[in-house]
């Protein structure tokens, strides 16, 4: 398989968690979420380059945290931008060669090595692959008149790692910035490329609320 | 405000939790989920009739559980049917008068008295009201060609209690059974009635997986 790189996006200020600490630095089982996420990728492949995208303003905090927690797993830190789009683009600028790239949420620490492997394999095969899980609740769409029910059986919730051929992802990020951007797969699709869907994992939660934090605590 | 009744739907066999016990009977903090849910509604209004819909085959287990846990909160038990649609319809058959009816998942034990109250008030005002919360993950729709991204900012996840004027809900359930049925609000909308959206609660989770069970355990 081609060379692989992972971009771990931790650009957010994490206001939704309500704490004074950005969410990627919130402590779970004795250390920041982001360290668990880095470790998950290190476990998958200790030799794979890991590019961690952080706001410039958090560089010193992160350095201090790594010292304090004696966290020495190798990773490269890069400054992110205003929105996720800018942060992923910045991380992508650090990726070398034309192998495979995984983009993963820094606050999704419970990803398994199996899932990372399956996403890379699918992207190797088809250029673009993302993990998805069935949507559990009934979903409504807000309309001009109020709202309407959608057919849940046809909906999927998207997770990360989203994996791509590096060249394809670079081309996707050459498109102009769109404020409606939510994930990398959508950008790649605009190039006319079909995204392969990989079966995700219930446990692979994105930790964005205090409730999620408690769940991660229970699971890690 | 008009007279109120709650239908607590616990008709499922709960296979998704993977245990030998139906999910509504799974023990959380020392007692079955369904008892926590009944207690939440009892706390809201101890005088409100509670109609618990269970599969006929589970009546004896439930009776034994209530004895064993010395659970004496008043509630009426009614036999459900094959699908949720049949169970809610059966519960509705036990509702007296023309007041307000709440339909609530038996495995949603963390609902607050505040949310129950807001849903009843909104239904009193507008005939039909349901709680919703923003959708966190990116959502894709499966299409003939593969899948496409939806605009997440326009999507809402539906919770319960779903509250209605009793007469309106009865009329909605006079419509023929549709296997695509997912919730009561959708049925009511088919009568041309607009459903009012109430702000739901992150904590008001539906316990359907082992992961949810651990979260409920942490929160109750």
> Does the structure show a pLDDT above 70 at B16?
no
Q: pLDDT tier at A82 (50, 70, 90 boundaries)?
A: confident
> Does the structure show a pLDDT above 60 at A17?
no
Mean of pLDDT values over A13-34: 77
> Does the structure show a pLDDT above 70 at A212?
yes
B155/A156 touch (CB, cutoff 8 Å), yes or no: no
Q: pLDDT tier at B13 (50, 70, 90 boundaries)?
A: low
| Burial (Cβ within 10 Å: 0-12, 13-18, ≥19) of residue B210 | middle
Distance from the Cα of B40 to chain A's closest Cα (Å) equals: 20
Distance from the Cα of B182 to chain A's closest Cα (Å) equals: 7
The pLDDT score that the predictor gives to residue B29 is: 92
Q: pLDDT tier at A172 (50, 70, 90 boundaries)?
A: very high
Q: Considering only A23-37, A103-117, B1-15, B83-97, which range has the smallest mean pLDDT?
A: B1-15
d(CA A84, CA A13): 11
d(CA A66, CA A182): 30
In DSSP terms, B128 is beta-bridged to: B164
A209/B202 touch (CB, cutoff 8 Å), yes or no: yes
Task: Search chain B and give the residue with CA nearest A187.
Answer: B149
Angle at B131 between CA B153 and CA A206, to 5 degrees: 50
Q: pLDDT tier at B219 (50, 70, 90 boundaries)?
A: confident
d(CA A130, CA B128): 38
Q: pLDDT tens for residues B150-207?
A: 998 999 999 999 999 999 999 999 999 988 788 899 999 999 999 999 999 999 999 9
Which residue, chain included where needed, has tokens 């003939």?
B144
Q: Identify which has the larger pLDDT, A14 or A201.
A: A201
Distance from the Cα of A201 to chain B's closest Cα (Å) equals: 11
Identify all chain A residues contacting B140, using CB atoms and an 8 Å cutoff: 132, 155-156, 158, 185, 197
CA B67 to chain centre: 24
Calculate the alpha carbon distances from B115 to A130, B102, B173 in Å. 36, 12, 25
Q: pLDDT tier at B146 (50, 70, 90 boundaries)?
A: confident
Mean of pLDDT values over A79-100: 94
Q: Which of B12, B140, B187 to mutate to test the interface with A (most CBs of A within 10 A)?
A: B140
| Burial (Cβ within 10 Å: 0-12, 13-18, ≥19) of residue A109 | buried
For chain B, domain boundaries: 4-219
| Burial (Cβ within 10 Å: 0-12, 13-18, ≥19) of residue B96 | exposed
Length of chain A: 220
Task: Search chain B and give the residue with CA nearest A215.
Answer: B215
The pLDDT score that the predictor gives to residue A19 is: 57
A132, A142, A215 ranked by CB distance to B156: nearest: A142
Give the DSSP letter of residue A190: T
The pLDDT score that the predictor gives to residue A220 is: 86
For residues A185 and B149, the answer to whether their CB atoms sit within 8 Å is: yes
Q: pLDDT tens for residues B71-128?
A: 999 999 999 988 899 999 999 999 999 999 999 999 999 999 999 999 999 999 999 9
For residues A159 and A133, the answer to whether their CB atoms sit within 8 Å is: yes
The pLDDT score that the predictor gives to residue B19 is: 57
CATH architecture of B4-219: Alpha-Beta Complex (3.90)
d(CA B152, CA B154): 5
Q: pLDDT tier at A21 (50, 70, 90 boundaries)?
A: confident
For residues B52 and B74, the answer to whether their CB atoms sit within 8 Å is: no
Q: pLDDT tens for residues B19-62?
A: 567 888 888 999 999 999 999 999 999 999 999 999 999 999 99
Give the pTM. 0.87
For residues A92 and A165, the answer to whether their CB atoms sit within 8 Å is: no
Distance from the Cα of A140 to chain B's closest Cα (Å) equals: 5
Q: What are phi and psi of A196, to 5 degrees?
A: -80, 135
d(CA B218, CA A184): 34
Could you write out the DSSP letters of every residue in A57-81?
A: GGHHHHHHHHHHTT-----EEEE--
For residues B133 and B159, the answer to whether their CB atoms sit within 8 Å is: yes
The pLDDT score that the predictor gives to residue B66 is: 97
The pLDDT score that the predictor gives to residue A210 is: 83
């Amino acid at each position: 398989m081609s060379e692989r790189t992972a971009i771990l996006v931790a650009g957010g200020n994490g206001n939704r968690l309500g704490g004074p600490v950005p969410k990627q630095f919130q402590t779970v089982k004795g250390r920041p979420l982001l360290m668990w996420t880095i470790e998950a990728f290190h476990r998958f492949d200790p030799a794979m380059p890991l590019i961690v995208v952080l706001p410039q303003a958090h560089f010193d905090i992160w350095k201090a945290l790594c010292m304090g927690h004696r966290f020495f797993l190798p990773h490269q830190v890069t400054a992110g931008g205003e929105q996720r789009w800018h942060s992923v683009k910045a991380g992508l600028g650090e990726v070398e060669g034309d192998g495979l790239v995984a983009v993963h949420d820094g606050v999704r620490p419970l990803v398994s090595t199996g899932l990372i492997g399956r996403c890379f394999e699918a992207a190797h095969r088809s250029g673009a692959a993302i993990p998805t899980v069935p949507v559990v609740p009934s979903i409504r769409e807000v309309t001009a008149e109020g709202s309407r029910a959608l057919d849940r059986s046809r909906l999927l919730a998207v997770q990360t790692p989203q994996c791509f051929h590096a060249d394809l992802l670079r081309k996707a990020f050459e498109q102009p910035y769109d404020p409606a951007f939510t994930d990398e797969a959508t950008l790649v699709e605009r190039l006319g490329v079909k995204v392969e869907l990989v079966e995700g994992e219930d446990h692979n939660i994105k930790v964005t609320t205090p409730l999620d934090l408690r769940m991660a605590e229970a699971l890690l």
